[in-house]
Structure 1
Amino acid sequence: MTPRHHLDEATLVSYAAGALTDGMRAVAATHLEACGHCRAQLAGAERIGGVLLSQRQPTDEPGRLAQLREAMLARLDATPQARPASTLGGDDDHAASRVAGTDLLPRALHPYFGTSWRALRWRWTAPGVHMIKSSRPSGDNLIMLKIAPGKSMPVHSHGGSELTQILKGAYDDAIGHFGPGDMADLDSDIEHQPVTSPGVPCICVAALDAPLRFPGWFARKLQPLVGL
C-alpha cells in the first residue's frame, strides 16, 4: 500500500503543533501509520518548529502565532525530503502493524472504535451506506463509513475542513482516484461527488469540523437524520 494522496502541509504543521481536534488528529495519525512520505514531512515540520520556537518565543502580540505558522510552512517547503522518521514508531513498528493480522484496526483508531474489524457494529444510514460514530465524546466529529461498491454519494461541499482516510476499497471523484492508504484533505473550497469503485465496499474514517453542505434539497432533508 503506497499512498498517492497525502496530508496537506498546513495539516502536518497543525498536527505537529497539537492544534488539531481529537478526531482530526486520529485520522491524520491513521494516515501517518501507513505513509512514510508524510512521516518524513512531519519530522521536518517538528524540527523546524523547534528551531523557530527556540529563536522566537510566542507572545500575546497579535498575529505572532500566525507568523510563526507561515514561517514553518515556508521552511518546510524548502526542506529536502528526509528518510521516514520514527515519530509514530520505527520502521519495524510499522511493518509489524501491517502484518499483525487482517482483523486489526489501525492503532490510532483503537481508542475510538476498538481494535477489531469483526467487532465493529455498523448502523444503517442510507441505502448502501453504513456508519459508526466514535464511542468517545472527544471524538464526536469522528466517524467510520462503509459504502457499497458502485455507489454515488450526493454532491456536497464542506462547511470547514474534512480529513478522510481510505482504509479499504476505493472511490473516484473530480480530484482523482482514492484507494487504501490515501488521504483526502479537503477544505470549504472543494465540491465533489465520490463514487465508490466496483468490487468491495469502500471503508473510510473521517473527521469534520463543520457540517457538510448539500446543494440538493433531498440530501439536505436527510442531513439531520444522518448527522453529517
Structure 2
Amino acid sequence: MNPRHHLDPATVLAFATGTLAAEMSVVAAAHLESCPQCREQLRSAERLGGVLLEQQGSPPAEEHRQAALREAMLGRLDAPTPPAVAPVEVERSRVGTHDPDRLPSALAPHFGTSYRSLKWRWMAPGVHCIRAPDLPSLIMLKIAPGKCLPMHSHGNSELTQILRGAYDDSLGHFAPGDVADLDSEVEHQPVTTPGVACICVSALDAPLVFSGWFARKLQQVFKL
C-alpha cells in the first residue's frame, strides 16, 4: 500500500490526545497501520498533545476513557506476535504483509480477524454491510465493482478507510490504504472501480444526508 489520502491533522491530534470518538479512533488506527506518513504525524501530535494536556490539568472522565481506548489500540499495534501487526514504528512495507486474509489489527475486536470469516448483511443491490455490535456507528461495507452509490453529504463527520478494491468520487481515487476524512461540507457520490468489490470501514458521528428518496428510505431501515 502507498496511501495518497491521509488523516486530517486535526484528526491525528484528537487521536493522539485520546479525544477522538471511539468509532473514529478505530478507523484512524486502521489507517495508521498502513500509513508511515500519518504515523510520523502521530508522533508529532503526541508531543503537542502532551503539552496541551499538561496545560489543561487533569482531563475529565470521558477523556480518560478515550485515552485508555487509544492506548489499547496502540498496544495492539505494538504487540510483536500474531494476530497483531508489526509495531507502529516500523515501515509500511513490513506491516501486515504476512497474511492477506487478515483484517487490520484495530478492526479485529469489532469484526474478527479475517476477511473470509465476515458475515455480510444485504443492504441494497450490490451493497452489503456489517455493523460492529459494540460500536453501532462503526460499519464495514462491501460494494460490488462498478457500483454508483447515492449522492450524499454528511451530518457531521465521516471517516472511511479503504481495505480492498477502490472507488472514485469528486475528491479523487481512493485505493487500499487511503482514508477519506470528510466533514459536513463535502457532498460526493462514490463509484467503485471495475474488478473486485470495494471493502471499506466507516465511522459516522451523525447520519448521512441523502438527496434521493430511495436512499432516504434505506437510511431509515439501516440507520446510516
Normalising by structure 1, report the TM-score.
0.82
Measured after TM superposition, the shift of residue 118 of structure 1 is 1.0
Counterpart in the other structure of 1:174:
170
- Give the Cα–Cα distance (whole angstroms) in 2 for the partners of residues 6 and 93 of structure 1: 16
Measured after TM superposition, the shift of residue 226 of structure 1 is 2.2
Measured after TM superposition, the shift of residue 93 of structure 1 is 8.4
Counterpart in the other structure of 1:101:
99
Percent of aligned positions that are identical: 61
Cα–Cα, structure 1 residues 109 and 59, in superposed 2: closer, same or farther, change >3 Å? closer
Measured after TM superposition, the shift of residue 97 of structure 1 is 4.1
Higher Cα Rg, which structure: 1
Counterpart in the other structure of 2:72:
none
Counterpart of 1:144, as a letter, is M
Counterpart in the other structure of 2:65:
none
Measured after TM superposition, the shift of residue 49 of structure 1 is 2.0
Counterpart in the other structure of 1:150:
146
Cα–Cα, structure 1 residues 96 and 37, in superposed 2: closer, same or farther, change >3 Å? closer
Measured after TM superposition, the shift of residue 144 of structure 1 is 0.3
Counterpart of 1:145, as a letter, is L
Measured after TM superposition, the shift of residue 222 of structure 1 is 1.9
CA deviations on 1:72-126 (whole Å, 9 max, x unpaired) are xxxxxxxxxxxxxxx8524458655422311111000011001111110001100
CA deviations on 1:105-152 (whole Å, 9 max, x unpaired) are 10000110011111100011000000000022xx11101000000000
Counterpart in the other structure of 1:127:
125
Counterpart in the other structure of 1:40:
40
**What secondary structure sits across from 1:5 in the alignment?**
coil
Counterpart of 2:100, as a letter, is T
- Give the Cα–Cα distance (whole angstroms) in 2 for the partners of residues 53 and 142 of structure 1: 28
Counterpart in the other structure of 1:211:
207
| Alignment RMSD (CA, Å) | 1.9
**What secondary structure sits across from 2:7 in the alignment?**
coil
Q: Which structure 1 residue ranges, 4+ long, deviate > 6 Å from structure 2?
A: none
Counterpart in the other structure of 2:49:
49
CA deviations on 1:34-75 (whole Å, 9 max, x unpaired) are 000000001001112223444x33489xxxxxxxxxxxxxxx
- Give the Cα–Cα distance (whole angstroms) in 1 for the partners of residues 17 and 123 of structure 2: 35
Instruction: State which of 173, 192, 196 in structure 2 corresponds to 1:200.
Output: 196
Structure 1 gap segments, 5+ residues each: 61-86
Q: How many residues align?
A: 199
Counterpart of 1:50, as a letter, is G
- Give the Cα–Cα distance (whole angstroms) in 1 for the partners of residues 88 and 156 of structure 2: 33
Measured after TM superposition, the shift of residue 24 of structure 1 is 0.7
Normalising by structure 2, report the TM-score.
0.84
Counterpart in the other structure of 1:12:
12
